[in-house]
Amino acid sequence: MATFAAASAKPMAVIDNSQLSLCQKKFDGLRVGYAFAKRKSSSSLKVKSVSRINMALATDVSRFEGVTMAPPDPILGVSEAFKADTNDLKLNLGVGAYRTEDLQPYVLNVVKKAENMMLEKGENKEYLPIEGLAAFNKATVELLLGADNDATKQGRVATVQGLSGTGSLRLAAAFIQRYFPGVQVLISSPTWGNHKNIFNDAGVPWSEYRYYDPKTVGLDFEGMIADIKAAPSGSFVLLHGCAHNPTGIDPTPEQWEKIADVIQEKDLTAFFDVAYQGFASGSLDEDASSVRLFVARGMEVFVAQSYSKNLGLYAERIGAINVVCSSSDAAIRVKSQLKRLARPMYSNPPVHGAQIVANVVGNPTLFDEWKSEMELMSGRIKGVRQRLYDNLSAKDKTGKDWSFVLRQIGMFSFTGLNKAQSENMSNKWHIYMTKDGRISLAGLSLSKCEYLADAIVDSYYNVS
Protein backbone atom coordinates (compact mmCIF):
# COMPACT_ATOMS: atom_id res chain seq x y z
CA MET A 1 0.00 0.00 0.00
CA ALA A 2 2.81 2.36 0.99
CA THR A 3 4.53 1.63 -2.28
CA PHE A 4 1.36 2.36 -4.18
CA ALA A 5 0.72 5.52 -2.24
CA ALA A 6 4.24 6.70 -2.85
CA ALA A 7 3.98 5.95 -6.50
CA SER A 8 0.68 7.74 -6.84
CA ALA A 9 2.07 10.76 -5.10
CA LYS A 10 4.54 11.34 -7.94
CA PRO A 11 3.59 14.19 -10.27
CA MET A 12 1.63 12.95 -13.37
CA ALA A 13 2.99 13.53 -16.87
CA VAL A 14 1.10 16.22 -18.81
CA ILE A 15 -0.56 14.92 -22.02
CA ASP A 16 -1.47 17.58 -24.60
CA ASN A 17 -4.45 17.53 -27.01
CA SER A 18 -2.45 16.27 -29.97
CA GLN A 19 -1.35 13.19 -27.99
CA LEU A 20 -4.93 12.58 -26.88
CA SER A 21 -6.08 12.82 -30.48
CA LEU A 22 -3.40 10.34 -31.58
CA CYS A 23 -4.43 7.91 -28.85
CA GLN A 24 -8.07 8.23 -29.86
CA LYS A 25 -7.24 7.50 -33.51
CA LYS A 26 -5.24 4.41 -32.52
CA PHE A 27 -8.08 3.19 -30.33
CA ASP A 28 -10.62 3.80 -33.10
CA GLY A 29 -8.39 1.94 -35.53
CA LEU A 30 -8.17 -1.06 -33.20
CA ARG A 31 -11.94 -1.00 -32.75
CA VAL A 32 -12.61 -0.84 -36.49
CA GLY A 33 -10.09 -3.61 -37.12
CA TYR A 34 -11.75 -5.79 -34.52
CA ALA A 35 -15.17 -5.13 -35.95
CA PHE A 36 -13.92 -5.92 -39.46
CA ALA A 37 -12.37 -9.20 -38.31
CA LYS A 38 -15.54 -10.08 -36.48
CA ARG A 39 -17.64 -9.35 -39.57
CA LYS A 40 -15.37 -11.50 -41.73
CA SER A 41 -15.94 -14.42 -39.45
CA SER A 42 -19.71 -13.98 -39.52
CA SER A 43 -22.03 -16.00 -41.70
CA SER A 44 -22.72 -14.95 -45.30
CA LEU A 45 -26.31 -14.12 -44.34
CA LYS A 46 -25.08 -11.57 -41.78
CA VAL A 47 -22.72 -10.00 -44.33
CA LYS A 48 -25.60 -9.54 -46.74
CA SER A 49 -27.70 -7.97 -44.01
CA VAL A 50 -24.97 -5.44 -43.17
CA SER A 51 -24.54 -4.63 -46.87
CA ARG A 52 -28.25 -3.93 -47.20
CA ILE A 53 -28.11 -1.59 -44.19
CA ASN A 54 -25.11 0.24 -45.67
CA MET A 55 -26.90 0.56 -49.04
CA ALA A 56 -30.03 1.90 -47.35
CA LEU A 57 -27.97 4.51 -45.53
CA ALA A 58 -26.23 5.48 -48.76
CA THR A 59 -29.52 6.13 -50.60
CA ASP A 60 -31.18 8.21 -47.88
CA VAL A 61 -30.24 11.35 -49.84
CA SER A 62 -31.80 11.22 -53.33
CA ARG A 63 -29.99 12.47 -56.39
CA PHE A 64 -33.25 14.28 -57.18
CA GLU A 65 -33.31 16.44 -54.04
CA GLY A 66 -32.84 19.50 -56.24
CA VAL A 67 -35.88 18.70 -58.41
CA THR A 68 -38.78 20.94 -57.40
CA MET A 69 -42.47 20.19 -57.85
CA ALA A 70 -43.75 21.50 -61.19
CA PRO A 71 -46.85 23.70 -61.09
CA PRO A 72 -50.06 21.94 -62.16
CA ASP A 73 -51.15 22.36 -65.77
CA PRO A 74 -53.80 25.10 -65.79
CA ILE A 75 -56.11 23.21 -68.15
CA LEU A 76 -55.73 19.71 -66.74
CA GLY A 77 -55.99 21.15 -63.23
CA VAL A 78 -59.46 22.43 -64.11
CA SER A 79 -60.51 18.91 -65.11
CA GLU A 80 -59.17 17.44 -61.88
CA ALA A 81 -61.11 19.97 -59.80
CA PHE A 82 -64.23 19.22 -61.84
CA LYS A 83 -63.91 15.48 -61.24
CA ALA A 84 -63.55 16.01 -57.50
CA ASP A 85 -66.75 18.11 -57.32
CA THR A 86 -69.84 16.08 -56.39
CA ASN A 87 -72.41 18.80 -57.14
CA ASP A 88 -75.00 17.81 -59.75
CA LEU A 89 -74.93 21.27 -61.36
CA LYS A 90 -71.20 21.22 -62.12
CA LEU A 91 -69.93 22.15 -65.59
CA ASN A 92 -66.48 21.63 -67.12
CA LEU A 93 -65.86 24.53 -69.51
CA GLY A 94 -62.07 24.33 -69.31
CA VAL A 95 -60.92 21.66 -71.76
CA GLY A 96 -61.32 22.31 -75.48
CA ALA A 97 -62.92 19.02 -76.45
CA TYR A 98 -66.24 18.66 -78.26
CA ARG A 99 -69.23 17.25 -76.39
CA THR A 100 -72.70 16.25 -77.53
CA GLU A 101 -75.85 17.97 -76.24
CA ASP A 102 -75.77 15.35 -73.46
CA LEU A 103 -72.20 16.54 -72.70
CA GLN A 104 -70.66 13.22 -73.71
CA PRO A 105 -67.52 12.67 -75.85
CA TYR A 106 -68.26 12.20 -79.54
CA VAL A 107 -66.61 9.86 -82.02
CA LEU A 108 -67.42 10.92 -85.58
CA ASN A 109 -69.25 8.38 -87.74
CA VAL A 110 -66.75 8.87 -90.56
CA VAL A 111 -63.94 7.96 -88.16
CA LYS A 112 -65.69 4.68 -87.31
CA LYS A 113 -66.17 3.94 -91.02
CA ALA A 114 -62.54 4.76 -91.80
CA GLU A 115 -61.38 2.41 -89.04
CA ASN A 116 -63.61 -0.36 -90.39
CA MET A 117 -62.00 0.13 -93.80
CA MET A 118 -58.59 -0.28 -92.17
CA LEU A 119 -59.67 -3.54 -90.50
CA GLU A 120 -61.00 -4.88 -93.78
CA LYS A 121 -57.75 -4.04 -95.56
CA GLY A 122 -55.74 -5.66 -92.80
CA GLU A 123 -53.42 -2.67 -92.36
CA ASN A 124 -50.09 -3.62 -90.77
CA LYS A 125 -48.24 -1.89 -87.95
CA GLU A 126 -44.87 -1.46 -89.62
CA TYR A 127 -42.79 1.65 -88.94
CA LEU A 128 -43.68 4.69 -91.01
CA PRO A 129 -40.95 6.72 -92.71
CA ILE A 130 -39.67 9.65 -90.63
CA GLU A 131 -41.85 12.10 -92.61
CA GLY A 132 -44.96 9.98 -91.99
CA LEU A 133 -47.61 8.34 -94.14
CA ALA A 134 -47.34 9.53 -97.75
CA ALA A 135 -51.11 9.39 -98.34
CA PHE A 136 -51.70 11.49 -95.23
CA ASN A 137 -49.11 14.10 -96.20
CA LYS A 138 -50.65 14.48 -99.64
CA ALA A 139 -54.16 14.75 -98.22
CA THR A 140 -53.30 17.22 -95.48
CA VAL A 141 -51.45 19.74 -97.66
CA GLU A 142 -54.23 19.64 -100.27
CA LEU A 143 -56.82 20.13 -97.54
CA LEU A 144 -54.88 23.13 -96.23
CA LEU A 145 -54.01 24.88 -99.49
CA GLY A 146 -56.33 23.28 -102.02
CA ALA A 147 -55.48 20.59 -104.55
CA ASP A 148 -55.08 23.17 -107.34
CA ASN A 149 -52.80 25.48 -105.39
CA ASP A 150 -49.65 26.44 -107.30
CA ALA A 151 -47.39 25.78 -104.30
CA THR A 152 -48.81 22.26 -104.03
CA LYS A 153 -48.56 21.49 -107.75
CA GLN A 154 -45.01 22.88 -107.97
CA GLY A 155 -43.78 20.84 -105.01
CA ARG A 156 -42.89 23.91 -102.95
CA VAL A 157 -44.35 22.60 -99.69
CA ALA A 158 -42.25 20.57 -97.24
CA THR A 159 -44.75 18.49 -95.25
CA VAL A 160 -43.86 16.24 -92.32
CA GLN A 161 -46.43 14.37 -90.24
CA GLY A 162 -46.26 15.53 -86.62
CA LEU A 163 -47.59 14.58 -83.21
CA SER A 164 -50.77 16.66 -83.55
CA GLY A 165 -50.51 20.45 -83.35
CA THR A 166 -48.24 20.50 -80.30
CA GLY A 167 -45.64 18.17 -81.80
CA SER A 168 -45.75 19.97 -85.14
CA LEU A 169 -45.16 23.32 -83.45
CA ARG A 170 -42.31 21.83 -81.43
CA LEU A 171 -40.62 20.43 -84.53
CA ALA A 172 -40.86 23.80 -86.27
CA ALA A 173 -39.50 25.53 -83.15
CA ALA A 174 -36.47 23.22 -83.19
CA PHE A 175 -35.95 24.07 -86.88
CA ILE A 176 -36.07 27.80 -86.12
CA GLN A 177 -33.64 27.42 -83.23
CA ARG A 178 -31.14 25.54 -85.38
CA TYR A 179 -31.28 27.55 -88.60
CA PHE A 180 -32.31 30.99 -87.29
CA PRO A 181 -30.56 31.13 -83.88
CA GLY A 182 -31.49 34.14 -81.80
CA VAL A 183 -34.38 35.15 -84.07
CA GLN A 184 -37.54 35.84 -82.09
CA VAL A 185 -41.13 34.69 -82.54
CA LEU A 186 -43.92 37.19 -81.90
CA ILE A 187 -46.86 35.65 -80.02
CA SER A 188 -50.30 37.18 -79.51
CA SER A 189 -51.31 38.43 -76.07
CA PRO A 190 -53.07 36.32 -74.93
CA THR A 191 -52.44 33.02 -76.68
CA TRP A 192 -52.83 29.28 -76.17
CA GLY A 193 -51.04 28.44 -72.93
CA ASN A 194 -48.67 25.92 -74.50
CA HIS A 195 -47.19 28.23 -77.16
CA LYS A 196 -44.75 29.89 -74.77
CA ASN A 197 -43.74 26.54 -73.25
CA ILE A 198 -42.96 25.12 -76.68
CA PHE A 199 -40.67 27.99 -77.70
CA ASN A 200 -39.07 28.19 -74.26
CA ASP A 201 -38.12 24.52 -74.31
CA ALA A 202 -36.80 24.82 -77.86
CA GLY A 203 -34.62 27.76 -76.85
CA VAL A 204 -36.40 30.20 -79.17
CA PRO A 205 -36.81 33.77 -77.84
CA TRP A 206 -40.28 35.29 -78.07
CA SER A 207 -42.11 38.52 -77.41
CA GLU A 208 -45.78 39.45 -77.48
CA TYR A 209 -47.91 41.61 -79.75
CA ARG A 210 -51.14 43.20 -78.63
CA TYR A 211 -54.25 41.30 -79.64
CA TYR A 212 -57.07 41.42 -77.09
CA ASP A 213 -58.75 44.69 -76.08
CA PRO A 214 -60.49 44.23 -72.69
CA LYS A 215 -62.47 47.45 -73.14
CA THR A 216 -64.29 46.16 -76.21
CA VAL A 217 -63.77 42.43 -75.58
CA GLY A 218 -62.56 42.50 -79.16
CA LEU A 219 -59.44 42.74 -81.31
CA ASP A 220 -56.87 45.46 -80.64
CA PHE A 221 -56.06 45.67 -84.32
CA GLU A 222 -54.14 48.95 -84.19
CA GLY A 223 -51.97 47.67 -81.34
CA MET A 224 -51.38 44.41 -83.20
CA ILE A 225 -50.24 46.17 -86.37
CA ALA A 226 -48.02 48.60 -84.45
CA ASP A 227 -46.26 45.78 -82.60
CA ILE A 228 -45.70 43.73 -85.76
CA LYS A 229 -44.29 46.81 -87.50
CA ALA A 230 -41.87 47.30 -84.61
CA ALA A 231 -40.54 43.73 -84.78
CA PRO A 232 -36.92 43.21 -85.90
CA SER A 233 -36.54 42.26 -89.54
CA GLY A 234 -36.54 38.48 -90.03
CA SER A 235 -38.76 37.74 -87.02
CA PHE A 236 -41.48 35.09 -87.10
CA VAL A 237 -45.08 36.05 -86.32
CA LEU A 238 -47.25 33.33 -84.82
CA LEU A 239 -50.83 33.67 -86.09
CA HIS A 240 -53.95 31.63 -85.32
CA GLY A 241 -55.37 30.62 -88.70
CA CYS A 242 -58.95 30.70 -87.38
CA ALA A 243 -60.86 30.55 -84.07
CA HIS A 244 -58.19 32.29 -82.00
CA ASN A 245 -57.48 30.47 -78.75
CA PRO A 246 -58.35 31.65 -76.10
CA THR A 247 -60.37 34.68 -77.23
CA GLY A 248 -62.41 33.37 -80.16
CA ILE A 249 -61.70 36.72 -81.84
CA ASP A 250 -60.49 36.61 -85.46
CA PRO A 251 -59.41 39.40 -87.81
CA THR A 252 -61.81 40.26 -90.63
CA PRO A 253 -60.80 39.42 -94.23
CA GLU A 254 -59.81 43.08 -94.71
CA GLN A 255 -57.70 43.00 -91.57
CA TRP A 256 -55.97 39.81 -92.72
CA GLU A 257 -54.98 41.68 -95.90
CA LYS A 258 -53.42 44.45 -93.82
CA ILE A 259 -51.58 41.92 -91.61
CA ALA A 260 -50.15 40.27 -94.72
CA ASP A 261 -49.09 43.70 -96.06
CA VAL A 262 -47.12 44.53 -92.91
CA ILE A 263 -45.47 41.11 -92.62
CA GLN A 264 -44.44 41.26 -96.27
CA GLU A 265 -43.16 44.85 -96.06
CA LYS A 266 -41.16 44.19 -92.88
CA ASP A 267 -39.53 41.00 -94.23
CA LEU A 268 -41.09 38.85 -91.50
CA THR A 269 -42.27 35.23 -91.73
CA ALA A 270 -45.80 34.17 -90.84
CA PHE A 271 -46.14 31.03 -88.71
CA PHE A 272 -49.74 29.79 -88.66
CA ASP A 273 -51.23 27.49 -86.04
CA VAL A 274 -54.27 25.87 -87.67
CA ALA A 275 -56.07 23.77 -85.06
CA TYR A 276 -59.70 24.25 -86.11
CA GLN A 277 -59.96 24.06 -89.92
CA GLY A 278 -63.59 23.24 -90.73
CA PHE A 279 -64.52 23.17 -87.07
CA ALA A 280 -64.72 26.94 -86.58
CA SER A 281 -67.14 28.01 -89.32
CA GLY A 282 -68.15 24.59 -90.64
CA SER A 283 -66.28 25.30 -93.91
CA LEU A 284 -62.83 23.88 -94.63
CA ASP A 285 -62.15 26.52 -97.27
CA GLU A 286 -63.30 29.50 -95.20
CA ASP A 287 -61.22 28.47 -92.19
CA ALA A 288 -58.09 28.11 -94.37
CA SER A 289 -58.58 31.43 -96.17
CA SER A 290 -56.03 33.32 -94.03
CA VAL A 291 -53.26 30.84 -94.85
CA ARG A 292 -54.19 30.73 -98.54
CA LEU A 293 -54.07 34.54 -98.72
CA PHE A 294 -50.42 34.59 -97.62
CA VAL A 295 -49.44 31.70 -99.91
CA ALA A 296 -51.20 33.31 -102.88
CA ARG A 297 -48.95 36.34 -102.40
CA GLY A 298 -45.90 34.10 -102.82
CA MET A 299 -44.89 34.40 -99.16
CA GLU A 300 -42.91 31.67 -97.40
CA VAL A 301 -44.86 30.48 -94.36
CA PHE A 302 -44.88 27.82 -91.64
CA VAL A 303 -48.20 26.08 -90.91
CA ALA A 304 -48.83 23.64 -88.05
CA GLN A 305 -51.98 21.53 -88.41
CA SER A 306 -54.04 19.45 -86.01
CA TYR A 307 -56.88 16.96 -86.48
CA SER A 308 -57.82 16.77 -82.80
CA LYS A 309 -60.87 19.02 -83.14
CA ASN A 310 -62.21 18.71 -86.69
CA LEU A 311 -62.04 14.90 -86.76
CA GLY A 312 -62.23 14.37 -83.00
CA LEU A 313 -58.88 12.52 -83.06
CA TYR A 314 -57.71 13.94 -79.72
CA ALA A 315 -55.91 10.82 -78.53
CA GLU A 316 -54.44 9.84 -81.91
CA ARG A 317 -52.02 12.82 -81.89
CA ILE A 318 -52.23 13.44 -85.61
CA GLY A 319 -51.13 16.64 -87.33
CA ALA A 320 -48.46 18.05 -89.64
CA ILE A 321 -45.92 20.80 -90.06
CA ASN A 322 -45.86 22.43 -93.50
CA VAL A 323 -43.25 24.87 -94.75
CA VAL A 324 -44.24 26.67 -97.93
CA CYS A 325 -41.04 27.63 -99.76
CA SER A 326 -40.19 29.81 -102.75
CA SER A 327 -38.86 26.83 -104.74
CA SER A 328 -39.15 23.06 -104.86
CA ASP A 329 -35.40 22.78 -104.25
CA ALA A 330 -35.73 24.75 -101.01
CA ALA A 331 -38.68 22.57 -99.96
CA ILE A 332 -36.63 19.39 -100.47
CA ARG A 333 -33.80 20.75 -98.31
CA VAL A 334 -36.14 22.01 -95.59
CA LYS A 335 -37.95 18.67 -95.44
CA SER A 336 -34.65 16.80 -95.13
CA GLN A 337 -33.71 18.90 -92.09
CA LEU A 338 -37.14 18.54 -90.49
CA LYS A 339 -36.69 14.78 -90.78
CA ARG A 340 -33.22 15.07 -89.31
CA LEU A 341 -34.69 16.87 -86.28
CA ALA A 342 -37.56 14.40 -85.91
CA ARG A 343 -35.34 11.32 -85.94
CA PRO A 344 -33.76 11.76 -82.47
CA MET A 345 -37.00 13.22 -81.03
CA TYR A 346 -39.43 10.38 -81.75
CA SER A 347 -37.96 8.48 -84.74
CA ASN A 348 -41.23 8.31 -86.71
CA PRO A 349 -44.89 9.16 -86.12
CA PRO A 350 -47.84 6.84 -85.28
CA VAL A 351 -49.82 5.36 -88.15
CA HIS A 352 -53.40 4.91 -86.93
CA GLY A 353 -54.56 8.53 -87.01
CA ALA A 354 -52.76 9.18 -90.28
CA GLN A 355 -54.60 6.31 -91.95
CA ILE A 356 -57.93 7.63 -90.68
CA VAL A 357 -57.29 11.08 -92.16
CA ALA A 358 -56.04 9.64 -95.44
CA ASN A 359 -59.13 7.39 -95.74
CA VAL A 360 -61.60 10.17 -94.95
CA VAL A 361 -60.05 12.84 -97.18
CA GLY A 362 -59.24 10.39 -99.96
CA ASN A 363 -62.72 8.85 -100.17
CA PRO A 364 -65.28 11.21 -101.79
CA THR A 365 -68.22 9.66 -99.91
CA LEU A 366 -66.53 9.84 -96.50
CA PHE A 367 -65.21 13.31 -97.28
CA ASP A 368 -68.73 14.62 -97.90
CA GLU A 369 -69.99 12.92 -94.74
CA TRP A 370 -67.16 14.51 -92.78
CA LYS A 371 -68.06 17.99 -94.02
CA SER A 372 -71.65 17.38 -92.92
CA GLU A 373 -70.55 16.24 -89.47
CA MET A 374 -68.32 19.30 -89.08
CA GLU A 375 -71.27 21.52 -89.96
CA LEU A 376 -73.32 19.76 -87.27
CA MET A 377 -70.60 20.20 -84.64
CA SER A 378 -69.93 23.84 -85.45
CA GLY A 379 -73.70 24.40 -85.72
CA ARG A 380 -74.28 23.06 -82.21
CA ILE A 381 -71.65 25.42 -80.81
CA LYS A 382 -73.19 28.36 -82.68
CA GLY A 383 -76.54 27.36 -81.17
CA VAL A 384 -75.30 27.44 -77.56
CA ARG A 385 -73.44 30.68 -78.29
CA GLN A 386 -76.71 32.28 -79.42
CA ARG A 387 -78.66 30.87 -76.47
CA LEU A 388 -76.04 32.09 -73.99
CA TYR A 389 -76.17 35.58 -75.50
CA ASP A 390 -79.99 35.61 -75.28
CA ASN A 391 -79.90 34.54 -71.62
CA LEU A 392 -77.21 37.07 -70.70
CA SER A 393 -79.10 39.89 -72.37
CA ALA A 394 -82.34 38.93 -70.61
CA LYS A 395 -80.83 38.59 -67.14
CA ASP A 396 -78.52 41.63 -67.17
CA LYS A 397 -80.78 44.60 -66.40
CA THR A 398 -78.00 47.18 -66.77
CA GLY A 399 -78.17 47.22 -70.55
CA LYS A 400 -74.61 45.91 -70.96
CA ASP A 401 -73.82 44.83 -74.51
CA TRP A 402 -73.01 41.12 -74.57
CA SER A 403 -72.90 40.88 -78.37
CA PHE A 404 -69.17 40.08 -78.29
CA VAL A 405 -70.28 36.51 -77.48
CA LEU A 406 -71.82 36.32 -80.97
CA ARG A 407 -68.88 37.98 -82.72
CA GLN A 408 -66.45 35.41 -81.38
CA ILE A 409 -66.00 32.16 -83.29
CA GLY A 410 -65.07 28.56 -82.59
CA MET A 411 -65.35 26.57 -79.39
CA PHE A 412 -64.01 29.26 -77.03
CA SER A 413 -65.44 32.49 -75.67
CA PHE A 414 -63.57 35.13 -73.71
CA THR A 415 -66.11 36.26 -71.14
CA GLY A 416 -64.21 39.28 -69.84
CA LEU A 417 -64.21 37.85 -66.30
CA ASN A 418 -61.06 38.37 -64.26
CA LYS A 419 -59.31 35.83 -62.05
CA ALA A 420 -61.35 36.52 -58.91
CA GLN A 421 -64.59 36.39 -60.88
CA SER A 422 -63.54 33.14 -62.57
CA GLU A 423 -62.79 31.64 -59.17
CA ASN A 424 -66.28 32.65 -58.00
CA MET A 425 -67.66 30.71 -60.97
CA SER A 426 -65.96 27.58 -59.65
CA ASN A 427 -66.32 28.10 -55.90
CA LYS A 428 -69.94 29.24 -55.84
CA TRP A 429 -71.47 27.99 -59.07
CA HIS A 430 -69.42 24.79 -59.68
CA ILE A 431 -68.53 25.98 -63.18
CA TYR A 432 -64.90 25.16 -64.00
CA MET A 433 -62.96 27.34 -66.42
CA THR A 434 -59.48 28.80 -66.87
CA LYS A 435 -58.59 31.78 -64.67
CA ASP A 436 -58.27 34.13 -67.64
CA GLY A 437 -62.04 34.06 -68.17
CA ARG A 438 -62.08 31.65 -71.12
CA ILE A 439 -64.92 29.15 -71.41
CA SER A 440 -65.25 26.25 -73.83
CA LEU A 441 -68.70 26.34 -75.41
CA ALA A 442 -68.07 22.81 -76.65
CA GLY A 443 -68.70 21.67 -73.06
CA LEU A 444 -72.00 23.56 -72.79
CA SER A 445 -75.52 22.34 -73.60
CA LEU A 446 -78.57 24.41 -74.47
CA SER A 447 -80.24 23.34 -71.23
CA LYS A 448 -77.31 24.70 -69.16
CA CYS A 449 -77.09 28.14 -70.85
CA GLU A 450 -79.45 29.86 -68.41
CA TYR A 451 -77.55 28.53 -65.40
CA LEU A 452 -74.26 29.70 -66.93
CA ALA A 453 -75.74 33.14 -67.64
CA ASP A 454 -76.82 33.46 -63.98
CA ALA A 455 -73.30 32.59 -62.86
CA ILE A 456 -71.62 35.03 -65.26
CA VAL A 457 -73.90 37.94 -64.30
CA ASP A 458 -73.42 37.25 -60.59
CA SER A 459 -69.63 36.98 -60.91
CA TYR A 460 -69.33 40.04 -63.15
CA TYR A 461 -71.29 42.40 -60.90
CA ASN A 462 -70.79 41.00 -57.40
CA VAL A 463 -67.09 40.10 -57.42
CA SER A 464 -64.54 42.86 -57.88
- Supply the residues annotated as catalytic: 192, 273, 309
Quote the CA–CA distance of 411 and 97 in Å, as a whole number: 8
DSSP H helical ranges for 396-442: 404-407, 419-427
How far, in Å, CA of 196 to CA of 204, rounded? Answer: 9
H or E stretch including 323?
strand 318-324
Tally of CB atoms within 10 A around 364: 8
Element (H, E) at 389: helix 364-395
245 vs 265: CA distance, rounded Å = 27
Distance, CA of 6 to CA of 73 (rounded, Å): 85
CA distance 102 to 285: 30
CA 248 vs CA 123, 146, 198, 289, 440: distances in Å: 39, 25, 21, 17, 10
Cβ neighbors of 403 (< 8 A, separation 6 or more) are 389
